Each structure stands twice: as structure tokens, then as C-alpha cells.
Structure 1
Amino acid sequence: MHTFLVVLQNTPGWAWLILAYLVYSGVKRTRPHVKSPVQIILPSAIFLALIFAKLAQEHFAEPALAGIAAGAILAVIFVSSIRPARDTYRQADGRLVLAGEYHSLALMMTLFCVNYANAVGSAMAPLATGSAVAVFGYSLVNGFCTFYMASRSLAHMRATSGAAV
């Protein structure tokens, strides 16, 4: 318990601000909402940039590449099968009406938790978090969540005109 409290106390304030923003953003998406194409693509672009920065930080190691690739493939298959944009409609002004969903909240919390745990682990046990299995594991989760969001964003962008349900 003591270690847990030390970790929480030594977490920088900006990490808690990011967590608060991700929770706020995810909760907002649980209700139907209207977004511009930029508002749909921008979060995915940011997460894609972060995943490629993380990949560069790992020096493009094979476990990281394999994990991200496997996560990306699984995400595309998953998005193709559940069709998350089936209730998305494009308005006359080009903005998109999206149904409320919990995927975003779950994905953003998963990304935050995995990367937070990896950062803490890197500080406390660098050999363990640097192992091939650990690198593959968090790369798989990061790849899945990031490419799920990106694939879903592209699916929303293909929405046609119509009336929202």
C-alpha cells in the first residue's frame, strides 16, 4: 500500500489533468452529439502521433512493431465487424451526428492506464517493462486502441446524409 501511495504522490500534476480531460471527453461522447470532420479526425491523429513517438522511443524494436501491427489488425477486424458508425449521419452543413457510445471512454481509459503503468514500471523496474513480452503487450494494447479509434473515425467520415435516429 505504501508503494501505491508513493506512486500516486509522485505522479506529476499534468498526468492527472490529462486523465481528467480524457474522462470528461469520454463521458461527453456517451450522449448523441454533433461534430465537425476535424473534431472527429483530430483525436485519432494525436493518438497515432503518440503511438509512433512511442515506437520511435522503443527504437522500432521487433516486439513493439509486432504488438502494434497485431493490435492494428485486430482493431480493423473489430471495427469492420461491429460497424460503429452505422448510426452516423452527415448534416447539410457537413457536420456529423454521432450516436452516444461508451467505446471512446473505455479506449481512452485503457490507453491512459496502460501507458501510466508502463511509465511507473519503467521507473520502478526498467528491466521488467523493457522485456520483449512487456513491450509486445503494451504495444498490442496501444495499437488496438489507437487503430480502433482511427478506423472508427474513418468509418464516421464515410457517413451519408440522412436524419438521425
Structure 2
Amino acid sequence: MSSDAATPSFLDIVTHTPLWVWPLILYALYAGWARTRDRIVSPTRLFALPVILVALDVFELARNGLSLQATVGLAGGIVAGLLAGLTAARHTPVRALDDGRLAVKGHWLPFAIVLAIVVVSYVRGVALGIDPSLATNTRFLLANAILAGFLPALMLARTFGSLPRGYVFG
């Protein structure tokens, strides 16, 4: 990228990123990386990250205004994410333990999903910071909404779908 006023350099983008964003990015990457390891967790802990990611994306879209395009894109992304997540769940079963906790095999897909969510969110913020008119651009809104629906729904559906058949929260 050039360093003229119209196109900020990579350094400009990084140095103008609000400080609170960096710990959030680091935590998201750590949480995604932790899912690459075998672990034993409570059901609440298993679902915490996917639920938080869904809530953050829906909040972000609502904050920017849910146009018809964004709503349609979000719905389409959610449906596609749910289908993809349920398909992916077949390859990563979770085992229920006698004490109610869950034995989860580590997998790189959650890390990839978290990384994609972080990258998409960061790029969205940078793009809107550089060109605020994108907030009314139909293609931008639609693509953003599709990804905002797809990625968290993929993670949430994969988590639900990996639970043992007949598993009851309790």
C-alpha cells in the first residue's frame, strides 16, 4: 500500500487500531488455539465461545443497521453455516463423561473459524474506517452479513452436532 492520504499504509492501519482491539484479538486466537487440543470441559464452557461469537456478530450487524440486504445475507449465511457445521460435526464427536463433563478431541477447524472471524471483523472495521460510505454499499453489506452469519453458525452447529446422541444438559 502507498503512504498517501487516500490509502493508509499497513503501519497506519495498525497504529490507528484502538488499543482495546489487540487483547480481544489475542484472546480470540488463544481460545481458538485451545480448541486444537484434547480437553475435558463442562457443557457451558464448550458452548461459551460459539455463543459469544454469534452474539458479537449479530450485535455488530445490528449496530450498523440491518438493511434488507444485510438481513437476507445474515439469514443465508446462518443457514449455510448450520448445514456446514452439522456436516463437520460428524468428524469430531464429543464423549460424555459420568460426571457430566465432556471429553472433546482437539481439532484445527475451530481455530480456523475463530481466525476467519477475527480477520473478517478487523478488515470490516478497517474498510469502514477508510471508507465510511461502505456502510451503505449493498455488495459490502451483503458479503459482510453472509460471513457474519456463516462463521459463527458453523462453529455453533458443529459444537451442537458433535454432542453424543441423546445427550441431555443437566
Q: TM-score range by the shorter chain?
A: 0.7 to 0.9
For 1:101, the equivalent position in structure 2 comes to: 107
Tell me the SS of whatever aligns to 1:123.
helix
Looking at structure 2, the residues matched to 4 and 119 of structure 1 have their Cα atoms a distance apart, in angstroms, of 14
For 1:112, the equivalent position in structure 2 comes to: 118
Looking at structure 1, the residues matched to 60 and 105 of structure 2 have their Cα atoms a distance apart, in angstroms, of 32
Amino acid at match of 2:114: M
**How far off its partner does 1:45 sit?**
1.8
List per-residue Cα deviations over 1:14-41 (Å, max 9, x = no partner): 2111111112111121121111011012
Amino acid at match of 1:154: F
Q: Structure 1 vs Structure 2: percent identity of aligned residues?
A: 24
- RMSD of aligned alpha carbons: 1.9
Matched, 1:135 2:132: no
Looking at structure 2, the residues matched to 75 and 66 of structure 1 have their Cα atoms a distance apart, in angstroms, of 14
For 1:11, the equivalent position in structure 2 comes to: 17
**How far off its partner does 1:150 sit?**
1.4
Q: Is the contact between residue 94 and residue 162 of structure 2 (CA under 8 Å) also seen in structure 1? A: yes
**How far off its partner does 1:159 sit?**
5.1
Tell me the SS of whatever aligns to 2:103.
strand
Number of aligned positions between the proteins: 161
Q: What residue ranges of structure 1 are gaps of 5+ in the alignment?
A: none
Tell me the SS of whatever aligns to 1:97.
strand
More helix by share: 1
Looking at structure 1, the residues matched to 104 and 123 of structure 2 have their Cα atoms a distance apart, in angstroms, of 32
Q: What residue ranges of structure 2 are gaps of 5+ in the alignment?
A: 4-8
Q: Of 65, 72, 82, which residue of structure 2 is paired with 1:59?
A: 65
Q: Which moved more, 1:1-10 or 1:142-151?
A: 1-10
Q: Is the contact between residue 73 and residue 143 of structure 2 (CA under 8 Å) also seen in structure 1? A: yes
Looking at structure 2, the residues matched to 145 and 71 of structure 1 have their Cα atoms a distance apart, in angstroms, of 8
Q: Is the contact between residue 95 and residue 164 of structure 2 (CA under 8 Å) also seen in structure 1? A: no
TM-score (norm 1): 0.88
List per-residue Cα deviations over 1:55-98 (Å, max 9, x = no partner): 32232211111111111111121123233464310000111111
Looking at structure 1, the residues matched to 14 and 150 of structure 2 have their Cα atoms a distance apart, in angstroms, of 27
Q: Which moved more, 1:43-52 or 1:32-41?
A: 43-52
Using a 3 Å threshold, how does the CA distance of structure 1 residues 11 and 159 change in structure 2: closer, same or farther? farther
Looking at structure 1, the residues matched to 107 and 166 of structure 2 have their Cα atoms a distance apart, in angstroms, of 19
